[in-house]
Amino acid sequence: MHITRLSALITASYAHGETAIHRFIHILRQHAHTIGVKPLMSSKEKAAMSTKTTENTAEKSTSSPAKRTTGTTKRATTATRKRRTAKTPAPVTPGEAPAPIIPVTEPGQFGRVNVMDITPNEEHGVYPARVELGEAFEVTAQVFIEGRTKVGATAVVRNPRGKEMLRAPMTCVNPGLDRWTVTLTCGEHSDAKPWEPEFAKVKRQLGEWTVTVEGWEDTYISWLHDATIKVQVGDDVENALISGSQLLARWASSSDAKLNAHQRKTLEAAAATMADASLSPQERLAAATSSDVSELHTSNPLRDGLSPSAPQRFKVERPKASFAAWYQFFPRSEGAVYDDQHGRIKQGTLVTALSGLERAKAEGFDIVYLPPIFPIGVTNRKGRNNSLIAGPNDPGSPFGIGSKLGGHDTVDPLLGTMDDFKAFCNRAHELGLEVALDFALQCSPDHPWVKQHPNWFRTKPDGTIAFAENPPKKYQDIYPIDFNADMPGIEKEVERIMDLWVKAGVTIFRVDNPHTKPVRFWQDVIAAVTKKHPEVLFLAEAFTRPGMMRALSYVGFTQSHCYFPWRNTKEELEKYLLETNGDDGYYQHNTFWPTTPDILTDYVRDNGIAGHAVRAVLAAMGSPSWGIYNGYELIENKQRPGFEEQIDNEKYEVKVRDWDDAGKYGIAELLTSLNRIRREHVEAFSYHNVSILPSSDPNIIAFARHTPAELTSTGKPETLIVVVNLDGHNAHQSLIHLELPDLDIDPKHDVQVRDELTGHEFTWGWDNFVSLAPWADVAHVFHIVR
């Protein structure tokens, strides 16, 4: 209300030669009562006032009688002091106050900086994402703050004991959506096998790790943006530079930045230079933008308003958990021969089955998978091709488990003894092979459990036990287990049995039809087994609904059979490759099998040798984990009429094979080459790094596996380009387009590619011509030569 009078006094003061600021202070003190503010005091007046206040306080203290303060009085005095403190305004610090850390005391609260939508994070983080020890994986999040203030983000990795193992800066890849990303690893990669002494170090790193995304106000970048503009246009330069000097000094003293002595001195020197008014503004600003300071902003930033997210859980699994090449064979067929004297087949044993180990090793596989090796029931035994009546020499299905000789904890005497099985495992380990054992949780009518635990089986109203069935199909040689009466008892028995086979040398269980048992049952069993044996892996043979397959992955199945055999067109395959090798790969590890004893698709039946080659290339290159059922090398592709399975199915008879014939077809040689390529370029294989490459022909599919340089042990990018002709009868040509920058290729130059199947080299650029014929080459697997 007295602004006009005050303005006139200030204007008049200029005529007397007084500086504006001194005259303003003098006038404000004289007329403070007229504008309603407390008069300003000089420094002398402040000192005098302080002395007077001290003297008054001392006088009051000495004049008051001494009193013994009771607890009540103390509390009252404390409360009074708190009230007085609350009324006292906080001191004003020149410049901007740094963003505070706001405690988060309950779920859903935000910190000073907002962190949301962290990925991977399916089912609201209830089930942890899964990664292999030392495997590179991506974490993303939305990180933002109000207004135009800049933010940063950091990812912190902690091991199962809560120890910080890695702190990595995140990069904003989409400013418009505030999306930040970082590539991380949990633990150190190792090739140690579970039976090797070095595995003890691996074992300590397995378990549940966490990743915390920390959002923070990037005070340095916010200041730098404004200060640079102000220096350029000459606006409020001194305040901008002094603010920067104070900021660098505060950064140098930050404990969170984890600076060493040299780094602190770098920041302190820059702060001193910025405060030096004898230098030009440009020189002072340059001190805060030097390469040394910029590097520290990346590695050891000043993080104001630090706001950590809830820890995101990651289940870290042992080496080869997500990179495996499986080879399945039936031990009873290995070494089997015709016995002309008795007119029947003499089956193989665990001793003769060593030949299967040698073949798997020669073809480059690293897991041998055996169907059940337990005694086979006699009652209602199945005959050839699943017939209801078995002949006198029919061995029965190994999935009709259990006889008077024993159940799931016994080796079938026709195969050998437990000592024979242990010797088999020892030989496998000498060859560097793991042994996977089929675990089919079902029983023949002769299984010991039928008498020992009759309540484990479902009965009909007439009191008889119900056969397994899927109407109109019936499995008369199998009793299904009923989990409703005594699931804890069944769990305990299964845990005992698995422990027995692990101690014998098994490191992986392939579980038959897990989707027909309660998910909670497997959750309990796998948790108990892996707690005692964290190296044990589980493969789910669950050709069923997507939800059930995902649930089984959530509860501990490391890998999963999948729909790959039925994905045969270009469109189907492109979609399925991205589904398998995308974010879903953090939870479900699809293992690609071209065929199994139960699956022989029309594509494999109709496309001959070329079809077998095509499906092998797609399986080996399309997923980090793949598998082959033996006999594939011999083009065993005759279907049982009306069924997508082989005729003369090995599940119901012993096969006598002439492995010398494998050389006629070239498939064994192809399998060996594919496994060699996988080993030599292992860093190109991940469940998260496939991209589809545009191709002009509907029968030519092309995709790339690319791992950037910063994620490889060599410091160089690792890239494979796979091109396949899906037509097993006709030649096709196509242009394959490469988005060169996406593959870390300089777009100004062409690149050399080497076909790892043939050894031929080519020069490629943006668009490249290929021609593939089934009688020559069905596929290229190019490696980019750097």
Bridge partners for 639 per DSSP: 646
The answer to whether 394 is annotated as binding is no
ω into residue 694 within 30 of 0, thus cis? no
Tell whether the torsion through CA atoms of 356, 357, 363 and 368 is positive or negative. positive
345: enclosing H helix or E strand: strand 344-346
How many CB atoms neighbour CB 418 within 10 A? Answer: 14
CA distance 529 to 467: 29
| Cα→Cα distances 780→79, 353, 707, 751, 772, Å | 81, 34, 19, 16, 8
The answer to whether 699 is annotated as binding is no
CA distance 585 to 707: 16
**DSSP labels, 449-492:** HHHH-GGGB-B-TTSPBPPEEETTEEETT-BPBP-TTTHHHHHH
CA distance 399 to 468: 12
ω into residue 594 within 30 of 0, thus cis? no
648 is catalytic: no
CA distance 450 to 456: 8
The answer to whether 258 is annotated as binding is no
Q: Of 218, 434, 512, 636, which one is the catalytic site residue?
A: 512
The answer to whether 513 is annotated as binding is yes
96 is catalytic: no
Query: Could you give the dihedral angle defined by the CA atoms of residues 371, 375, 380 and 386, in that order, rounded to the nearest 10 degrees?
Result: 20
| Cα→Cα distances 99→31, 111, 143, 224, 245, Å | 37, 11, 15, 17, 18
The answer to whether 512 and 494 have CB atoms below 8 angstroms apart is no
**DSSP labels, 484-545:** TTTHHHHHHHHHHHHHHHHHHT--EEEEESGGGS-HHHHHHHHHHHHHH-TT-EEEEE--S-
Rg (CA), the chain: 37
The answer to whether 652 is annotated as binding is yes
CA distance 183 to 139: 6
CA distance 218 to 296: 13
**List of residues 6+ apart from 487 with CB closer than 8 A:** 518, 520, 521
Q: Write the Ramachandran bin of 305: left for phi over 0, alpha for psi from -120 to 50, otherwise beta.
A: left
Residue type, 626: W
Bridge partners for 119 per DSSP: 140
The answer to whether 587 is annotated as binding is no
The answer to whether 749 and 709 have CB atoms below 8 angstroms apart is no
Helices (H), 118-236: 199-203, 219-233
Residue 609: name the closest of 493, 413, 773 by CA.
Answer: 773
Q: Of 135, 541, 633, 727, which one is the catalytic site residue?
A: 541
> Strands 537-541, 559-560: parallel, antiparallel or unpaired by DSSP?
parallel
Backbone angles phi, psi at 733, to 5 degrees: -125, 155
Residue 564: name the closest of 551, 552, 555, 577 by CA.
Answer: 577
Bridge partners for 646 per DSSP: 639
Backbone angles phi, psi at 226, to 5 degrees: -70, -40
Bridge partners for 540 per DSSP: 511, 560
The answer to whether 218 and 152 have CB atoms below 8 angstroms apart is yes
For the annotated binding site, the residues are 382, 442, 477, 513, 651-652
User: What amino acid positions are annotated as catalytic residues?
Assistant: 512, 541
For the annotated binding site for alpha-maltose 1-phosphate, the residues are 382, 442, 477, 513, 651-652
